[in-house]
Structure 1
Amino acid sequence: MQEREHRFPANRRSADKKSLSSADAESMEIKLEIYKTLFEATSDAMMIADESTRILYVNPAFTNITGYTEQDVLGKTPRILSSGKQDIHFYRRMWQSITTNKRWQGEIWNKKKSGDIFPAWQTINVIGEEGKPAHYISVFSDISQIKKSQADLWTLAHYDSLTGLANRSLLEERIKQELATTIRFKIYGALFFLDLDNFKTINDSLGHKVGDLLLRQVADRLRRELREEDMIARLGGDEFVIVLSNLSYDKAIASNQLKVVAEKILDLLLMPYLLEGHELRVSVSIGITLFPNNGDTFDHLLRQADTAMYAAKNSGKNTYCFFHPDMQDKVNQRLQLEKELRNALVHDHLGLVYQPQFNFNQQLLGYEALVRWHHPEQGVISPQDFIPLAEETGLIAQIGSQVLTKACQQWVAWHRAGKNVPHISVNISPKQFSSPGFVDLVSGIVESTKVDPRHIILEITEGLIVQNVKGIIEKMHALKQLGLRFSIDDFGTGYSSLSYLTRLPIDQLKIDKTFVVNLGINDNDAVIVETIIGMSKHLKLDLIAEGVETWEQLEHLYRCGCDGFQGYYFSKPLNRDDI
């Protein structure tokens, strides 16, 4: 049956056209035509009800949105749209506003003819005379898409797009809630800070696609293992945080519960992963802090768990560690040292000393430049105390640049003063050597200092070589073309390989002092030293034995064929003015 056309209500006052002039009647007709067009053309649903709230008229948009035709709803009340999601208190507040203000506006859930419910933004106005309602006019629109967009934006703002886990923002909200709960009910909660061990190696060797797949699988495993009330978040990279709530009222019991959970996570994440045809095993280091005792803010707890996580890594990785206040003291000391080290770089507080290298007849072979920090309050600080920090913070590149520059300048100064210095050796950190602009940096230093590069030896470690053999060799050749020479420092302690040695454009090997100190005590070390000496002779490489402190060590090395020595037997490191 053909649907009846939607009717637009006539104005009662215009019905008696005899009381209007011709011009007024024509104007009224135009207005009615405009109102009719608006009523029928608007995309918002419109519904007009009488003083008893029985529906008199609906427009086409009402049918489009709700699925109800005009015949379906005429004579019925708006309750036909009731979804059941709002309680009686909601409707009481609505009618109070309609009665008092002649108007209500707000968000409401309506139900379609199909039974589907949808959110609507609705406005109800009262039209009447002498304070009595004559009609109710309701206008509403379906805001489902708006609500979905808002939900999508909220999800983007609070969840990690890669793993679907909570992000830092949502984690912070949860921690604030948990802190309030634990303080109120005097029950313990905890924060786990997880960092995958050697994740960067996987990313660099197998690519970011495999790295991302690994992160997703880690997230999936954690979801399956933990309770629903526990929150798992990804801060970024390979860092995950877990919030464990409602543990125990007793700290010792809570700690034991956390140990059990931590050990399960270690075992769970160590199980093999099959990713793009690669079977991988990845361990994790976990830092744990309890609350509310250890801290009262999100930042405090996160820093504490992070500190404990680094303690776990320093303990050998694939383990967990609880935060202790002493750890924070060490972190504060480290931060202070970093601040002072940056200040030392700015104010030129880093200087060089030079340890001579001799042959058996005590003829000078050269010097090794060693950095010292002249602290204005603490005096001279050993590189063992600040170089590891410089490596971690990235300051090593700036330190390395200053050291190389000063060593080159010193050789030039000695040369101009008529002193014969065969060479100066300078240690180059792996991070500095691996930086993209290292060759250009060295070239610039050579050019600016006017040093003869044939008298500068760059000392690199074995560990650097295996990181990227092809790239390292290319850099070494580029630097060799400038005239510089190369030495492998601490040889025998790392990843020694004849295949590397035969490919590397090196000039010198240095026997590590850990082998030298045990000569005459440990036969295995003696065999290693003799092997290195024989290897260097076959490869026609110069040789320096480090850490020579006694005549017995010197004589043993010389008897085995070594004729280059460095150590306190000959001289401690010297200031330039003492040379």
Structure 2
Amino acid sequence: MVIQADKPACAVVVSLNDFKNINAHFGQTIGDVLLRQLACFLKTTLEDIPVYRTSGDRFTFILTEKDLPRTEALIHTIHGRLEHTWHTHNVECRLSASIAIADIAYAEGSLETAIRSTEYALAECKKNPEMVYCRYEPHLRAAENRRAAVKNALEDALAKDGFQILYQPIWSVGAQRFTQAEALLSLPFDAIKLDKGLVWTVMGNPDKEHFIRHLVHGFLALDRHVVAEGVETQEQLDYISQCGCDLIQGYFFSKPLKPED
């Protein structure tokens, strides 16, 4: 009805984090009491705004035009209460929650889109525990769509044998020859790689060059090979060799090649 009214409004979802651990540790009876306590707190805080339990550990309410100015204050009140302990049946515990906000304007007149919007924001909030809340913005959907497109493309490529593995030779400074190659779909587990961005940006900066030397020697002390990637010039090769890197790859030696090459 709120969507159909096409007036300013937002949906707010409060989703408890890891609540299954509460049930597992204290029992479902205690868990139910805590849910009731949270529900009563929300009802009291929201006053005349209806609040709904929309799944086992999730509560949802809708702020219409007259309540929108209170959004920030209400969220911080809820978040503030969750920072304190809850007591029941001689049990004391803490609850944490992810909070998502989705403006109805982004729902495009669709209930499904509105629900999806809150899910996007909720997922983003759960990935970033330091966030008090996450407000849905269209770029979240774009990022999710891109992830889905990449996933579909990968699955399609796997099904149709659409991957090609290339190998890039790695030069051994000690042996003065190519001793191994990296398959570009995976990394060696016994080696630390220095990103080419490091190799390119430290050149000519004494402080950064000094830092890289110490970094490389620290890894070598841990009995790990250090592979410097992105080496394209003699100057870079000389510098990175002086730093102590024992394995080097980059266009100075070779581009990625097909297995037969």
- Whether the TM-score (by the shorter chain) exceeds 0.5 is yes
Match of 2:53 in 1: 233
Q: What's 1:518 paired with?
A: 201
Q: In the superposition, relative to structure 1, how do residues 317 and 513 fare at CA in structure 2: closer, same or farther (>3 Å)?
A: farther
Deviation of the 1:527 alpha carbon:
4.4
Q: How does 1:33-52 map to 2 (within 5 A)?
A: none
Which residue does the alignment assign to 1:560? 243
Moved more, 549-558 or 342-351: 549-558
Q: Cα distance, 1:244 vs. partner?
A: 2.2
Normalised by the length of structure 2, the TM-score is 0.71
- The answer as to 2:180 corresponding to 1:366 is yes
Alignment of 1:440-455 (within 5 A): none
Contact 2:3 2:110 in 1 (8 A): no
Change (3 A) 1:262 1:362: farther
Distance 2:75 2:235 in 1: 52
- Structure with greater Cα Rg: 1
Higher relative contact order (CA 8 A, sep 6+): 2
Structure 1 gap ranges (5+)? 1-178, 372-425, 428-457, 460-486, 488-507
Matched, 1:547 2:234: no
CA distance in 2, matches of 1:233, 1:368: 52
CA contact (8 A) 2:192 2:225 kept: yes
- Conserved? CA contact 1:191–1:241, under 8 Å: no
Instruction: Tell me, in whole angstroms, the C-alpha distance in 2 between the residues paired with 1:550 and 1:231.
Output: 64
C-alpha displacement of 1:264: 3.1
SS in 1 for 2:179: strand
Q: Does 1:242 align with 2:55?
A: no
Contact persistence 2:86–2:94 (CA under 8 A): yes
**Partner residue in 2 for 1:190:** 10
Matches within 5 A, 1:336-355: 336-355=149-168
CA distance 1:257–1:551, shift in 2 (3 Å)? farther
Query: Is residue 2:41 matched to residue 1:224?
Result: yes
**Partners of 1:339 and 1:313 in 2: how far apart?**
24
Query: What's the offset of the Cα at 1:289?
Result: 1.9
Partner of 1:352: helix, strand, or coil? coil
User: Is the 8 Å Cα contact of residues 193 and 288 (structure 1) preserved in structure 2?
Assistant: yes
- Distance across 1 between alignment mates of 2:27 and 2:226: 42
CA deviation after TM superposition for structure 1 residue 539, in Å: 4.4
How far apart are residue 515 of structure 1 and its match? 3.9
Contact 1:356 / 1:366 at 8 angstroms: preserved in 2?
A: yes
Indicate whether 1:259 and 2:72 are aligned.
yes
Give the equivalent residue in structure 1 for 2:104. Answer: 291
Name the amino acid aligned to 1:535.
G
How high is the TM-score relative to the length of structure 1? 0.36
Q: CA deviation at 1:542?
A: 3.0
**SS at 1:350 equivalent:** coil
The CA distance in 1 between the partners of 2:33 and 2:205, in whole Å, is: 50
How far off is 1:520 after superposition? Answer: 3.6
1:535 aligns with 2:226: no
Structure 2 alignment gaps of length 5 or more: none
Separation in structure 2 between the aligned mates of residue 215 and residue 355 of structure 1, nearest angstrom? 58
Q: Secondary structure at the match of 2:180?
A: strand
Per the alignment, do residues 281 and 223 of structure 1 end up closer, same or farther by CA in structure 2, a change over 3 Å counting? closer
Where 1:547 maps in the other structure, the secondary structure is coil
Q: Give the C-alpha shift of residue 366 in structure 1.
A: 1.0
Between stretches 513-522 and 343-352, larger displacement belongs to 513-522
Q: Residues 192-229 of structure 1: CA distance to partner in whole angstroms, max 9, x if unpaired?
A: 234567x49x95xx994279878975773464143254
CA distance in 1 between counterparts of 2:36 and 2:217 reads 52
Say if 1:356 and 1:566, in contact at 8 Å, map to a contact too: yes
What CA distance in whole angstroms lies between the structure 1 residues aligned with 2:32 and 2:203?
A: 51
For residues 354-413 of structure 1, the C-alpha deviation after alignment (integer angstroms, 9 at most, x for no partner) is 122112375112111113xxxxxxxxxxxxxxxxxxxxxxxxxxxxxxxxxxxxxxxxxx
CA drift of 1:316 comes to 7.5
Distance 1:216 1:183 in 2: 36
Q: How far apart are the structure 1 equivalents of 2:92 and 2:230?
A: 44
Distance 1:563 1:277, change over 3 A: farther
Letter in 1 for 2:104: F
Residues 333, 537 of structure 1: alpha-carbon distance in 2 compared, 3 angstrom cutoff: closer
Of 241, 254, 257 in structure 2, the residue corresponding to residue 571 of structure 1 is 254
8 A contact 2:4–2:109 mirrored in 1: no
Match of 2:120 in 1: 307
1:568 aligned counterpart, secondary structure: coil
Say if 1:285 and 1:312, in contact at 8 Å, map to a contact too.
Answer: yes
Q: CA deviation at 1:305?
A: 0.8
Change in 2 beyond 3 A, CA 1:542/1:311: closer
1:480 maps to none
Aligned Cα RMSD in Å? 4.2
Q: What's the CA shift for 1:241?
A: 3.7
Q: Is the 8 A contact 1:511 1:529 kept in 2?
A: no
Look up the equivalent residue of 2:50 and give its one-letter code. D
In the TM superposition, 1:28-427 aligns within 5 A as: 179=1, 183=4, 188-195=8-15, 199=18, 208-209=24-25, 220-221=37-38, 223-225=40-42, 226-228=45-47, 229-233=49-53, 235-236=55-56, 240-245=58-63, 247-248=64-65, 254=68, 256-269=69-82, 271-273=83-85, 282=96, 284-291=97-104, 294-296=107-109, 298-312=111-125, 317-360=130-173, 363-371=177-185, 426-427=186-187
Distance 1:343 1:522 in 2: 45
Asked whether the equivalents of residues 14 and 98 of structure 2 are also in contact (C-alpha less than 8 Å), the reply is: yes
